[in-house]
Amino acid sequence: MTTRRRHLLTSSAALLAAPGLAIPSLAVEGFPSRPVSLVVPFPPGGTTDLGGRIIAPRAAHHLGGTIVIENRPGAAGAVAADQVRRADPDGHTLFLGVAATHGVRPAVFGDQLPYDAVADFAPVALLGVTPFLLVVRADSPFQTAAQLIERLRAEPGRHNYASAGPGGVPHLAGEWLRMEAGVDVVHVPYRGGAQMLQGLLSGDVTFMIESVPTVAAAVADGRLRVLARATTRPGGAFAEVPTLGALGMGDVDAETWIMAIAPAGTPAAVLARLNAAFNAANAEPAVVEQLAAIGTQAISDSTPESAAAHIREEIARWRGVVERAGIRLSLS
C-alpha cells in the first residue's frame, strides 16, 4: 500500500485537528499577521475554485485570521504556481495545487515547466480528492466495462476516446487503460472539457475517462452511463460503481485532488499551524457535505509529510504511464 492510500495521523498537527481537540496550542507567534492569500490556478466557478471557497472560510476560522481567494489562471496552472514559488515563505501566500500542476504536468513536461513541483514548494495538506469515471453514451450498447473492453479488443483501431487536450489526466488515463486492456484505440484530443463532452454525446468518440464534476450532470439527466470508477480509492462519489482494477484492468488509478501548498522554505511551525487549520475545517460535517456535492471527498488527516509524499508518488506514477506509452509532448 502506498503512502497516498494510508490515513496518516502521525503528527501533532493532524492529531490536534481532530474534532473536539484544541488547536490554539499550535499558535505561532506573529502568524498570521495579515490575510493569507490562497492562489487558485483557474478562473472562478470551476471545481477547484469552488473547493477552495468551501474550505477557506472555515480554515480561516480555525487559523484565527483571514484567507482570501486569489484567482490567477494561465498556462494550465503554471502562472499561479510560478507566482507562489516566488512568494515570501512566511505562510501568507499559498497555492491550491491540483493533480495537473503537481502530478501530471511535471510527469509529462518535466523541466519545461517554470517550476519544480517538489523542490520549489512545501506542501501543507491534501484537502480533497475527486475520482475519474469511465463513461459512454447512455444509448451505447455497452452496459458494463467488460462489454466495452470486449468490443475494443474485437475491433482494433475502430474505436477512440476523448480528452480535453494532450497531456492531461483524461489523456493519460485513457492510455493507461489502453495498455492494461491490451486494446488498439485512438486518442482524440479536444480543445477543452465542453468540446470533449460534446464529442462523446454526439457519438464522435466511443468513451472517455473524466472527473465526476465534468460528467455528473450528463449522468444525472440520462445522457451518459458510468461503467467504472478509474480509481483505487474507496468511498467518495459513485462509491457503488466497480473500479477498473476490480474488473481486471490492473492498477489504473486516475483522480484529481486539491492541496494547500506553500513556497519552499516556509517554517515547519507555520506549516503545522496551517495544516491543523485546514484539517479542522475538513473535519466539519458541513464542509464534508459541501465538498461531496461537487464530487470531492474531504481529507482531514493529511500531514505536511504525507502531502509531500503524495506529490512525489503522483509524479512517479504518471511518469511511469508517460514512459510506458511513449508520450512525448512539448510546451513550445
pLDDT tens-digit map of 97-135: 999 999 999 999 999 999 999 999 999 999 999 999 999
What per-residue confidence (pLDDT) applies to 131?
95
Going by C-alpha positions, the residue among 81, 75, 46 that lies closest to residue 256 is 46
> Which CATH number applies to 3-130+256-325?
3.40.190.150
The phi, psi pair for 227, rounded to 5°, reads -100, -30
Asked if pLDDT for residue 19 goes beyond 50, the answer is no
| Per-residue pLDDT tens digits for 197-253 | 999 999 999 999 999 999 999 999 999 999 999 998 888 889 999 999 888 888 899
What per-residue confidence (pLDDT) applies to 179?
96
CA distances from 182 to 98, 144, 153, 204, 247 (A): 30, 17, 7, 22, 14
Architecture of domain 131-229: 3-Layer(aba) Sandwich (3.40)
Going by C-alpha positions, the residue among 95, 94, 91, 120 that lies closest to residue 106 is 120
Stretch 167-187: mean pLDDT: 96
Stretch 281-297: mean pLDDT: 97
What per-residue confidence (pLDDT) applies to 249?
85
Question: Residue 221: enclosing H or E segment and its boundaries?
Answer: none
Q: Are 132 and 256 in contact (CB under 8 A)?
A: yes
Helices (H), the chain: 12-16, 47-63, 78-85, 99, 105-109, 145-154, 169-181, 193-201, 212-220, 268-282, 285-293, 304-325
Sign of the alpha-carbon torsion through 47, 4, 168, 181: negative
Going by C-alpha positions, the residue among 312, 309, 303, 307 that lies closest to residue 272 is 303
Q: Where in the chain is the domain with CATH 3.40.190.150?
A: 3-130+256-325
What per-residue confidence (pLDDT) applies to 27?
67
Please measure the distance between the N-terminal and C-terminal CA atoms of the chain and give it in whole angstroms.
Answer: 38
Q: Where in the chain is the domain with CATH 3.40.190.10?
A: 131-229
What per-residue confidence (pLDDT) applies to 26?
59
Stretch 37-54: mean pLDDT: 96
Going by C-alpha positions, the residue among 177, 251, 238, 166 that lies closest to residue 207 is 177
The SS3 call for residue 298 is strand
CA distances from 260 to 21, 91, 134, 231, 240 (A): 22, 11, 28, 22, 29
pTM of structure: 0.89
Asked if pLDDT for residue 195 goes beyond 50, the answer is yes
